[in-house]
């Protein structure tokens, strides 16, 4: 609702009340209209202030209403009614003014913001554009280049930047509503002619075409197929070239296209999925709302390689005390220098001082005796990790949580090295660990709900989106990647080139195709894992392992010392080791031809559809297996992992959402087709859960959990 009160006799105060973010639901919109009307009708009222309850101005349109039947007044006439008011209306912005929230403020005559407030038009991140006249008012207020930046990126700006840009009129460190009331009284009675943004001409640009061309090129490059950023540029162009009323029409047209697009649905699903993963549950019945995390004040990181350094930075930046341990003195010194540099650069960006004092460095593992939680981040080698866990068990005080940063090793095996396996969880960080948003929190069969809750909470504290998943080879992300990469390799055996496979996957929206990504990660990483699993038999490139098709192509490249970017060659060639520009490699093409001849394989023409379907559907099929086994609690967990950790295009929601969009029947049919053609590839055999979902009439993704529950209860 929107509550109307009178303060100081002559100020009408409208307070938006719709927890948690005062979103502009139908009731709130109606409340604003009624309150403005009432205030304008009361002769004693000289001015109005609009604020939000609980220190939050407004989080924008109510996203939960999207896709439902529209009720209540639309936003544009509500904002026009405010702008047309004959009494000054001041927005008192505390906390957030986002999307429709900022558009509401732009409809007001003045804006006062608290110094800690964040403002922005993030509609683009939901597959939309600021279509409550924001795309038309903001360029008129702050000019085209600044508006293009804000609208196409959706970035939030601080109150200080908003003041500099001219979005707000005043910033206060004190009570924002008091400041706004005082301000409103000071301008009451003054002419409002120059305060109605919709009447402003858009500031002229001599190089208008060049500015828009450059903006379009920039968004096309960054968008990876997303359409909203392009529509945002078009809407701002309308503001710059058309009268306000016509610009609004264009905004409406563009919005209509976006609103009904699958991309907006995917992005909105992704928004809620990222919040839903916080409400985790385990097959044991343990849940987020019944498991209390322990507060972590002091943590230790063991092993200061690339991952350990990033984790240390993340913890220190979040204000935790960190003991950073590296047993080799020389590496410890190098790490200290590197971590300090990362902290200094980060602090400079944020305009704060670097939290160097939060970290104490040590070469002695015994110094971690008084920490609340340890994150072991040594080399990905089980024997080494076991040794470290044994040492930790001896030196840590009772009750210390022991976490391992691993991308796939068995958490339970590691936990068995300690007398308290319930305190052990996996924390799978993604590189660079202080930047990447994703954290897979991996529970073993003996991890306590409190250990999981604590790791999930710590993830939140350090700014990660944490997803709780069960223990299995590769956990969720890497386990699903395995059939995807296998298919990419099989396609090469059958006649494709790395360039073609990557092109198809990049056109789909991945930042990098399977081969460019493997070259970046380093081919030796998977090779080492395959060797440890006994899959690599030197000198014998047989194409079968344990009765299933196997491609030794990656192993053969590694045997040649081709580890990817770091060695200057892998699936591609590079100018020099470390160079990032991948070039097609004639050597690789002849190598593939020789390989096919040696194995009696005849290259055939492989089309775009086959690449996409075999790579994606095998990955999706593994996702269904993961759901069936209860390794992930719901499709949202998998989708968040893929969008945040594996560059799955956000505007396609995630692999499980994509399967829902394509249609489960279609996915099932195509998997059956490919499995028939390749019966020796088990990852192409449609899994039980997928069949069950199709048999249940392919319910929409938000109802999959019901079918999954049934499958689990039948086990």
Ligand X SMILES: C/C=C(\C)C(=O)SCCNC(=O)CCNC(=O)[C@H](O)C(C)(C)COP(=O)(O)OP(=O)(O)OC[C@H]1O[C@@H](n2cnc3c(N)ncnc32)[C@H](O)[C@@H]1OP(=O)(O)O
Residues near ligand X, by CB under 6 A: 20-21, 23, 59-64, 75, 96, 98-100, 103, 122-123, 126, 128, 131-132, 272, 275
Task: Report whether 298 contacts 321 (CB < 8 A).
Answer: yes
Q: What is the 3-state secondary structure (H, E, C) of 600-611?
A: CCCCCCCCHHHH
Q: Whose Cβ is closer to ligand X: residue 61's or residue 117's?
A: 61
Task: Report whether 287 contacts 359 (CB < 8 A).
Answer: no
Least Cβ distance, residue 21 to ligand X (angstroms): 4
Q: Whose Cβ is closer to ligand X: residue 95's or residue 308's?
A: 95
Least Cβ distance, residue 516 to ligand X (angstroms): 32
Least Cβ distance, residue 279 to ligand X (angstroms): 8
Q: Answer whether the bond into residue 432 is a cis peptide, omega within 30°.
A: yes
Instruction: Please pick, among 83, 94, 123, 440, the residue that the annotation labels catalytic.
Output: 123
Distinct helix (H) and strand (E) counts, the chain: 28, 19
- Is 123 designated active site? yes
Buried b (16+ CB within 10 A) or exposed e, 203-215: eeeeeeeebbeeb
Name the residue among 164, 159, 115 with its Cα closest to residue 141.
164
Least Cβ distance, residue 552 to ligand X (angstroms): 46
Q: Whose Cβ is closer to ligand X: residue 275's or residue 350's?
A: 275
Name the residue among 125, 117, 100 with its Cα closest to residue 163.
117
Least Cβ distance, residue 220 to ligand X (angstroms): 22
Quote the CA–CA distance of 441 and 704 in Å, as a whole number: 23
Quote the CA–CA distance of 623 and 617 in Å, as a whole number: 9
Least Cβ distance, residue 181 to ligand X (angstroms): 25
Least Cβ distance, residue 24 to ligand X (angstroms): 7
Q: Whose Cβ is closer to ligand X: residue 58's or residue 684's?
A: 58
Q: Whose Cβ is closer to ligand X: residue 510's or residue 657's?
A: 657
3-class state of residue 161 by DSSP: helix
- Is 329 designated active site? no
* Torsion angles phi and psi, residue 117, rounded to 5: -70, 155
Quote the CA–CA distance of 264 and 123 in Å, as a whole number: 10
Q: Whose Cβ is closer to ligand X: residue 211's or residue 239's?
A: 239
Quote the CA–CA distance of 548 and 527 in Å, as a whole number: 18
Quote the CA–CA distance of 565 and 356 in Å, as a whole number: 33
Q: Whose Cβ is closer to ligand X: residue 279's or residue 709's?
A: 279
Quote the CA–CA distance of 481 and 397 in Å, as a whole number: 38
User: Of all residues in this chain, which one has the CB nearest to ligand X in the complex?
Assistant: 99
Instruction: Please pick, among 83, 103, 380, 613, the residue that the annotation labels catalytic.
Output: 103
Quote the CA–CA distance of 663 and 660 in Å, as a whole number: 5
Catalytic residue numbers read: 103, 123
């Amino acid at each position: 609702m929107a509550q109307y009160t009178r303060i100081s006799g002559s100020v009408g105060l409208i307070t938006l009340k719709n927890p948690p973010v005062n979103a502009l639901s139908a009731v709130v919109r109606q409340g604003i209209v009624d309150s403005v009307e009432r205030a304008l009708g009361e002769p004693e009222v000289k001015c109005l202030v609009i604020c939000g309850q609980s220190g939050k101005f407004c989080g924008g349109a109510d996203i939960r209403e999207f896709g439902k039947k529209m009720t209540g007044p639309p936003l544009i006439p509500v904002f026009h009614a405010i702008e047309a008011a004959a009494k000054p209306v001041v927005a008192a912005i505390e906390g957030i003014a986002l999307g429709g929230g900022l558009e509401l403020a732009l409809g007001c005559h003045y804006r006062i913001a608290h110094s800690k407030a964040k403002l922005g038009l993030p509609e683009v991140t939901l597959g939309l554009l600021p279509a409550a006249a924001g795309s038309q008012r903001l360029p008129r207020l702050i000019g085209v280049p600044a508006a293009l930046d804000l609208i196409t990126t959706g970035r939030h700006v601080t109150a200080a930047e908003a003041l500099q840009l001219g979005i707000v009129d005043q910033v206060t460190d004190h009570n924002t509503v008091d400041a706004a009331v005082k301000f409103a009284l000071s301008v009451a009675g003054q002419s409002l002619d120059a305060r109605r943004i919709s009447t402003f001409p858009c500031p002229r640009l001599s190089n208008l075409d060049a500015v828009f061309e450059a903006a379009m090129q920039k968004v096309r490059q960054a968008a990876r197929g997303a359409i909203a950023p392009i529509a945002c540029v078009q809407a701002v162009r309308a503001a710059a070239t058309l009268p306000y009323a016509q610009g609004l029409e264009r905004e409406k047209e563009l919005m209509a296209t976006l609103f009904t697009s699958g991309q907006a649905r995917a992005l909105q699903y992704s928004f809620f999925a990222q919040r839903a993963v916080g409400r985790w549950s385990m097959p044991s019945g343990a849940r987020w709302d019944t498991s209390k995390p322990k507060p972590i004040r002091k943590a230790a990181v063991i092993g200061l390689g690339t991952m350990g350094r990033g984790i240390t930075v993340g913890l220190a930046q979040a204000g935790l005390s960190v003991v950073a341990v590296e047993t080799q003195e020389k590496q410890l010194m190098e790490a200290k220098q590197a971590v300090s540099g990362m902290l200094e650069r980060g602090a400079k960006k944020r305009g704060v001082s670097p939290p160097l004092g939060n970290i104490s460095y040590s070469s002695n593992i015994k110094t971690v005796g008084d920490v609340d939680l340890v994150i072991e981040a040594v080399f990905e080698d089980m024997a080494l990790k076991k040794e470290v866990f044994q040492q930790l068990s001896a030196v840590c005080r009772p009750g210390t949580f022991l976490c391992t940063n691993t991308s796939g090793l068995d958490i339970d095996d590691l936990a068995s090295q300690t007398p308290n396996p319930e305190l052990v969880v996996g924390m799978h960080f993604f590189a660079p660990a202080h930047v990447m948003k994703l954290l897979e929190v991996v529970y073993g069969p003996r991890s306590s709900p409190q250990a999981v809750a604590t790791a999930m909470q710590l993830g939140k504290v350090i700014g990660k989106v944490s997803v709780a998943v069960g223990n299995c080879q590769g956990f969720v992300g890497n386990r699903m990647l395995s059939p995807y990469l296998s298919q990419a390799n099989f396609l090469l055996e059958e006649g494709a080139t790395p360039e073609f496979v990557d092109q198809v996957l990049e056109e789909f929206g991945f930042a990098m195709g399977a081969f460019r990504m493997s070259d970046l990660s380093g081919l030796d990483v998977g090779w080492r894992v395959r060797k440890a699993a006994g899959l690599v038999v030197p000198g014998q490139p047989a194409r079968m392992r344990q009765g299933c098709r196997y491609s030794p192509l990656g192993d053969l490249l590694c045997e040649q010392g081709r580890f990817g970017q770091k060695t200057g060659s892998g699936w591609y060639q590079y100018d020099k080791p470390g160079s990032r520009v991948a070039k097609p490699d004639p050597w690789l093409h002849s190598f593939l031809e020789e390989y096919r001849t040696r194995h009696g394989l005849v290259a055939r023409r492989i089309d775009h559809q086959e690449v996409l379907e075999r790579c994606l559907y095998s990955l999706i099929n593994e996702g269904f297996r993961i759901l069936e086994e209860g390794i992930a609690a719901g499709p949202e967990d998998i989708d968040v992992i893929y969008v945040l950790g594996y560059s799955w295009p956000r505007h396609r929601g995630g692999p499980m959402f994509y399967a829902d969009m394509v249609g489960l029947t279609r996915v099932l049919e195509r998997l059956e087709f490919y499995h028939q053609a390749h019966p020796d590839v088990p990852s192409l055999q449609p899994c039980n859960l997928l069949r069950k979902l199709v048999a249940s009439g392919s319910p929409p993704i938000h109802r999959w959990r019901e079918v999954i529950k049934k499958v689990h209860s039948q086990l």
